[in-house]
Amino acid sequence: MTLDYFYGQAGELFSFFRIPKALFQEQQFQDLSTDAKTLYGILLDRMSLSVKNEWFDKKGRVFIIFTIEDVKRTLRCADNKATRLLRELEEFGLIERKRRGQGKP
């Protein structure tokens, strides 16, 4: 694979994950791992898809479906790390996980 320089506005052709600056600048998130911050950016990106699909809970909040398998595939990591990263985001109050049961994510 040969990588070339960007010319003109070609750099705008790529999509990016956005990670809130607060995760890097605020004292309360200083102990949040870089991998967890990256995962949070990926989860935020998925929110736009959820909005398009009109996935809202009973309180009108947007929700996403992103399984541990999705985390493993996206970050190319093992089950233990995927679970740890989701738990870390949950402990910092950045996500709330709900299990739907019956094999549903």
pLDDT (tens, 9 = 90+) of the chain, 105 residues, equals 787 777 777 767 777 899 999 999 999 999 999 999 999 999 999 998 999 999 999 999 999 999 999 999 999 999 999 999 999 999 999 999 987 766 666
Nearest of 79, 78, 95, 103 to residue 36 by alpha carbon: 95
Is residue 97 situated within a structural domain? Answer: no
Residue 14 located in a structural domain: no
Question: Does residue 10 belong to any structural domain of this protein?
Answer: no
Note whether 24 and 37 are within 8 A (CB). Answer: yes
- Residues of the domain holding 81: 28-91
Task: Report yes or no on 62 lying in a domain.
Answer: yes
Q: Which structure tokens are listed for 80?
A: 């233990």
Q: What is the pTM of this model?
A: 0.84
- Residue 100 forms part of a structural domain: no
Q: Classify residue 22: in a domain, yes or no.
A: no
Longest Cα–Cα distance in the chain: 51
Residue 53, pLDDT score: 93
DSSP 8-state assignment for residue 21: T
Task: Look at residue 105 in the predicted model and tell me its pLDDT.
Answer: 62
Domain count for the chain, please give it: 1
